[in-house]
Structure 1
C-alpha cells in the first residue's frame, strides 16, 4: 500500500511539473516552420493530374512504356481515341522509368460486351513494382467483378492471391473504373533480408479497398509469396492470356514520393 501511495504521489508531482513547464512555455515553442512543403497545383477535377505529376499516358502515345519481355522494344498496345487497349499478342508492357514510393492514378475499362466468367472475364493486372519478365511483381488485380463470382483474393481491388478488398465498388462493364494507389516499396538490409515489407493503400472508384496493408511478398500464382531483394522498379500492365475481349486504359499519372529513412 505504501509503495502504491508513493507511486501515485510521484505521478502527481510529475504531472504538476509538466503542467508548470507548459504554462511557462510559449505557443511558438511547438511551431515548426521548415522545411516548407512545395506548392502543388491540384488537378481541375478529382482525376486530373496535379502539377508535379509525371504523365504516363495522356491518350496520345506509349512513349513512356516498353515491352516487359524486351525492354529495348517499344510497347505495342493499341492507341486510338485517347485510350490504349491491350494487345494480347504483344505481351505485358511496363514503364520506361523505375519508381520506389509513389502516388498513382489509373483508369481502366472492361468492354461492355465482355464474355466469360470468373478469372476469364476482363482479366488484367496493375503490377505496382515489376521485378522481372512475365507476371513477376506485386499485382493489384484488374477484373470484371460486377456480378461475376470468383475467389475473393482474385477479384478487382485485391492484392492478387494475398489480400481481399474491403469492398466491391466495381461499376458495370463498359464504364470506366478508377484506381488511386499509394505504394511504399519494400526495403532490404545489406544482406538482402527484408527490412520493411511493401505497403499499399488503394481507392477503387473512390472507395477504400486496401488500407495501408502489408504485403507478404511479390505475387505468385501457386504457393506462398516470399521476398527477393530488389530496388526501384517499373510499373507493369498485364496482357492476360484469357480469351475475353481486351481491356482499355486512360489517364495514367504518377507522383513520386520521398523515401523515408527507416
Structure 2
C-alpha cells in the first residue's frame, strides 16, 4: 500500500521538475531598478555606510536645544528641555541606545523616564521598567497611551538598552485628511516588542490621539522628564522600498 501511495507523489514531482528543466519560469513582468549597495557596520550596532549619525559620543552638533545636556563617557545625559534633531526624516530605520539611571530612584513614571519622538510627535516610551510597575501603555517600549509592548525586555538600571525601530510615516491627502496611518516595528534588546503597529495619531498625555496633517519628514526628538537618562550611538537611515515598474504582463517562459 505504501508503494502505491508513493507513485502519484513521485509522478507529480517528476512533472514539476520536468517543467523547470524544460525552461518554464514565472516572470512577474516588473523591471526593477538596480539595488543600491550599502556597506553594513562592522558590528550589529554600528551605523551602516548610508546612516546619518546623530550622536557619536563627542558633541551635539546634530541637535537643537542641548545647551543644558552633558556628555559623560561618550553618553548624552538628559538636561533641561528636550532636544530635537536638525535633520528631518520620513520612512526610516532608527537605532538608539539608552540607560536608566543607577541607582534607581523613584517609581512608576518618575523612574528613568524619557521618550523617543518620531517626526517630533509620535512617542516610543523610554522608562526604567525593570521591576517597576506603571500603567501598561506607559512602560518602556510602549507607543505612549496607545499600546504596551508585547513583552518587557528591560535590562537592569545602569545597563544599556537598545531600540531598533522601523518607522513608516503617515500620509495625508491634499485636503489634510489621513491617507494612511503611521506604523512602527520595534526590537528592544533584539526582542520584537512592536510589530507593524498602526498608530491612532499623536501621543499626548492629556487627550485622545489624533492626526493633523504635516510634512513628509520630521525631526527626531528626545524628551526631558527630569530624569538623567543616558543615550549613545544614535543613527538613522532613510528607507526607500525597492523600485520597479510593470513593463509587461506576468507570464511563463
The yes-or-no answer on 1:146 pairing with 2:138 is no
Equivalent residue for 2:35, pick from 30, 34, 37: 37
Q: Which residue is equivalent to 2:248? A: none
In the alignment, the residues of structure 2 paired with residue 44 and residue 36 of structure 1 have an alpha-carbon distance, to the nearest angstrom, of 24
Structure 1: unaligned runs, 5 residues or longer: 1-18, 68-73, 131-136
Q: Deviation string for 1:90-118 (max 9, x for gaps)?
A: 30001001111100000000122120000
Q: 1:128 Cα deviation (Å)?
A: 1.1
The yes-or-no answer on 1:77 pairing with 2:73 is no
Q: Quick one: structure 1 residues 247 and 217, their matched pair in 2 at CA, closer, same or farther if it must change by over 3 Å?
A: same
Q: Which residue is equivalent to 1:118? A: 108
Is the 1:101–1:259 contact (alpha carbons within 8 Å) kept by the matching residues of 2?
no
Q: Deviation string for 1:204-243 (max 9, x for gaps)?
A: 01000100000000011123111001011100000114xx
Q: 1:80 Cα deviation (Å)?
A: 2.7
Structure 2: unaligned runs, 5 residues or longer: 1-15, 244-253
The TM-score, its normalising length taken from structure 2, stands at 0.83
Is the 1:75–1:93 contact (alpha carbons within 8 Å) kept by the matching residues of 2?
no
Q: 1:25 Cα deviation (Å)?
A: 6.9
Q: Which residue is equivalent to 1:237? A: 222
Equivalent residue for 1:27, pick from 19, 25, 28: 25
Count residues with an aligned counterpart.
224
Is the 1:127–1:139 contact (alpha carbons within 8 Å) kept by the matching residues of 2?
yes
CA RMSD between the two structures: 2.1
Q: Which residue is equivalent to 2:10? A: none
The TM-score, its normalising length taken from structure 1, stands at 0.80
In the alignment, the residues of structure 2 paired with residue 94 and residue 179 of structure 1 have an alpha-carbon distance, to the nearest angstrom, of 18
Higher fraction of strand: 2
The yes-or-no answer on 1:86 pairing with 2:78 is yes
The yes-or-no answer on 1:48 pairing with 2:46 is yes
Please give the residue correspondences for 1:48-67 in structure 2 after superposition, counting only pairs within 5 Å.
Answer: 48-67=46-65
Q: Which residue is equivalent to 1:246? A: 228
Q: Which residue is equivalent to 1:103? A: 93
Q: Quick one: structure 1 residues 235 and 259, their matched pair in 2 at CA, closer, same or farther if it must change by over 3 Å?
A: farther
In the alignment, the residues of structure 2 paired with residue 251 and residue 177 of structure 1 have an alpha-carbon distance, to the nearest angstrom, of 11
Equivalent residue for 2:188, pick from 183, 204, 222: 204
Q: Deviation string for 1:150-195 (max 9, x for gaps)?
A: 0010000000000111000000001000000001110100110000
Q: Deviation string for 1:51-83 (max 9, x for gaps)?
A: 11111100010000002xxxxxx6441013211
Is the 1:65–1:75 contact (alpha carbons within 8 Å) kept by the matching residues of 2?
no
